[in-house]
Amino acid sequence: MAKLTGRLCLIKKATTTIAGGRTVGMTVNGSPIDVQDQTDEGFVTMLAGILTGRSIELTIDGYEEDNVLRDIATDTTATSSFMTDITFEFPNGDALSGSWVLSAYSETGAYEDAQTFTASFTSDGQWTFTGAV
């Protein structure tokens, strides 16, 4: 497999890049079900083929450009934090899309540096993975 350029990872709303990201990441989560009993002699035994709590977390950090994510994060109704039509684009053309929740947001304004942000999105329901053509 060829190495990929991290700077080509993007998080988009519809076809628009959400923010000027410097680092973009993805974490896939899921918990197996432990079904061990006395016959397993003390070894963990998992229920085959089943994961619970499956989710994906997308993270992006970079430079604040037009306060779109800040506006969503600080909206007191929280409804804007539930976002549809979000896509994570991989450098090779693969894409992960679905509904997501802006689950964390922070900003930092350091002396003699541009204002930065970090945001995390958690999947809301099932996602769709589309392999590159």
Q: What is the DSSP track for the chain?
A: -----GGG-EEEETTEE-SEEEEEEEEEEEEEEE---GGGTT---EEEEEEEEEEEEEEEEEE--SSHHHHHHH-TT-GGGEEEEEEEEPTTS-EEEEEEEEEEEEEE--TTS--EEEEEEEE-S--EEE---
| Domain boundaries, given as residue ranges, for the chain | 9-130
- What's the confidence (pLDDT) of residue 112? 86
12 with 100: CB under 8 angstroms?
A: no
- What's the confidence (pLDDT) of residue 1? 59
Residues of the chain with pLDDT under 50: none
Q: In this structure, what are the phi and psi dihedrals at residue 66, rounded to the nearest 5 degrees?
A: -135, 20
Rounded to 5°, the CA angle 86-89-93 comes to 140
- What's the confidence (pLDDT) of residue 96? 92
- What's the confidence (pLDDT) of residue 8? 74
HSE-up of 84 (CA within 13 Å, CB side)?
1
20 with 62: CB under 8 angstroms?
A: yes
- What's the confidence (pLDDT) of residue 30? 95
- What's the confidence (pLDDT) of residue 92? 86
Q: Of 1.10.3470, 1.10.3210, 2.40.30, 2.60.40, which CATH number belongs to 9-130?
A: 2.40.30
- What's the confidence (pLDDT) of residue 62? 86
- What's the confidence (pLDDT) of residue 15? 84
